[in-house]
Amino acid sequence: MDALTAIRTRQSPLRLGEPAPDDASLRQALAAAATAPDHGRLRPWRFLIVRGEARRELAEVLVQSRSRREPPPSEAELAREREKAFRAPLIVVAAAHPVVHPKVPEIEQIIAVGAAVQNLLLAVHALGYGAFWRTGEPAYDSGVKAALGLAPQDSIVGFLYIGTPLSAPPPRPEIPLHAMEWTGPDKIVPF
């Protein structure tokens, strides 16, 4: 699949199932992620692979996270939280590991991780699988970060659910470009 086709046809599948990419394909996708634009070549991304039985452990981490939040959850809410770990056969937790750098502010390091995630999603799609990107409150819970072995200064940028799409996504409507042409101060015209 050529690059433009991959970009244009990537969509978040509604549901994912088996199989997940095998290790060789996953390494290809992670290698694609690692080619993201990266000011200072700081490689600020960290990827944690969660699959198989480890998803039960992740489910408990998500349940504990919800239990710490207000309002107190019902059993049904806890069950829904637990189910999130089983939305896909493979979850890649994408994190940013920013460092203090004289030339590269933290925001640039986090953007680089976003670019790496997009590369990974596109590679997964080009390899014939599907993936979707989620965050939600667990991404911002220091207890979840700690359980995943991340440092306090790290940020969870996304939970990437990866597997085989169970259905074709609906056609994508046209998306506005939000592009203008700037030819000087006060001279901005539609593109």
Nearer to ligand FMN, 58 or 188 (CB): 58
Taking the complex as a whole, the smallest distance from the CB of residue 61 to ligand FMN amounts, in Å, to 16
d(C-alpha 93, C-alpha 46), whole Å: 8
Shortest distance (Å) from residue 15 CB to ligand FMN: 13
Q: Round to whole Å and give the CA distance between 93 and 84.
A: 13
DSSP letters for 44-106: -EEEEEEETTHHHHHHHHHHHHHHHSSSPPPHHHHHHHHHGGGSSSEEEEEEE-----SSS-H
Given the rule CB under 6 A, which residues bind ligand FMN? 11-12, 132-136, 158
SS3 string of 7-43? HHHCCCCCCEECCCCCHHHHHHHHHHHCCCCCHHHCC
Residue number with CB closer to ligand FMN (86 or 182): 86
Of 12 and 28, CB closest to ligand FMN: 12
CB of 116 to ligand FMN, least distance (A): 12
Identity of the residue, 161 or 186, whose beta carbon is nearer to ligand FMN in the bound complex: 161
CB of residue 81 vs ligand FMN: minimum separation in angstroms?
Answer: 13
